[in-house]
Structure 1
Amino acid sequence: MSLEDIDKPLSTEDETAQTKNGFLALVSKLVFEENLPVRFMYKTVPAHLNDTGWRMFTGYETPEFLENEAINLLPVKLEKMTELDASLTELVEFNAGTVWERTPESEGWERVYDFKIPAEQVDVEITNDVDDFKH
């Protein structure tokens, strides 16, 4: 990549050309329990082979709700989500690092550039003590 290329915006092809894996998205249970539309979504690096990396929310989730992902985020086939809301179809083609939102008063989706996608927390213990290593 040359210096001239750095300031050029990516084409849609560049932003959708990554290898596609998985078929599941993690979706807020509020979408189904409260019959609310997806209004905020982002794509992270997939957590496993079945995962697309997409995380979809209604916008009404509280921090406490989001803390308990195992209960409040449901694995749903991406195909089912695009059947429920056709406006998701083009968006789910984008690469990891992409964030989208639509406010209740807006007509469509807008790209978000200032949201920091959460990284999965991994507890790692670091030591330089050779006696701490197990054989």
Structure 2
Amino acid sequence: MLPIYTDSPNPLDETSQTKNGFLALVSRLVFDDKLPIRFMYKTVPEHLNDTGWRMFTGYEDEAFLANEQLNLIPVTLEKLCALDPSLTDLVTYNAGTVWERTPESEGWERVYDFQIPVPTTEVAITNDVEDFIRSRERS
């Protein structure tokens, strides 16, 4: 039997990835300043406990976001959904999903024009043995 294709997306296609992990990285402002989560996206998880979800208030600036180790804290999805039940259905979506809710909005809206950040690692490649040795001595 041939598959049937429709123009409308199947919700199962957007929530059917293998689910691993139980932690999201959440802006410290959610807990320190008691601000609601208003923007979130799911990236590819970085480790087995990571769901890939990153959640923000919308008040974070570039300097704040640059210091992830200090300003993004791991929190269980269970705790987040208990604090804000509107997250419960959204956290079932696959990597690549982005959501936001504005202060004047009643609920969450899907975002399609946000470029999810990709972690980068700087790598220097050389075929010069002496250059390689010098670079190792500097580090």
- TM-score w.r.t. the length of structure 2 is 0.87
Gaps of 5+ in 2: 134-139
Pairing 1:118–2:106 present: no
2:95 aligns with 96
CA displacement at 1:56 relative to structure 2: 0.2
Identity among equivalent pairs (%): 66
1:50 aligns with 49
1:32 aligns with 31
CA displacement at 1:11 relative to structure 2: 1.2
Counterpart CA distance in 2 for 1:65 and 1:92 is: 24
- The DSSP-based 3-state class of the residue aligned with 1:53 is strand
1:77 aligns with 76
CA displacement at 1:9 relative to structure 2: 3.8
CA displacement at 1:124 relative to structure 2: 1.5
Counterpart amino acid of residue 97 in structure 1: G
Counterpart amino acid of residue 100 in structure 2: E
1:17 aligns with 16
Counterpart amino acid of residue 123 in structure 1: E
Q: Deviations over 1:80-132 (max 9, x none)?
A: 000000000000000000000000000000000000000001112223x2745
Q: Deviations over 1:60-81 (max 9, x none)?
A: 0011100000000000001100
Structure 1 residues 54-73: aligned runs within 5 Å: 54-73=53-72
How many residues of Structure 1 are paired with residues of Structure 2 in the alignment? 129
Gaps of 5+ in 1: none
Counterpart amino acid of residue 27 in structure 2: S
2:106 aligns with 107
Counterpart amino acid of residue 109 in structure 1: W
- TM-score w.r.t. the length of structure 1 is 0.89
Q: Deviations over 1:32-60 (max 9, x none)?
A: 00001000000000000000000000000
CA displacement at 1:10 relative to structure 2: 2.4
Instruction: Give RMSD over aligned pairs.
Output: 1.9
- The DSSP-based 3-state class of the residue aligned with 1:25 is strand
**Structure 1 runs (4+) greater than 3 angstroms displaced:** 130-133
Counterpart CA distance in 2 for 1:130 and 1:63 is: 37
Counterpart CA distance in 1 for 2:62 and 2:117 is: 13
Structure with larger Rg: 2
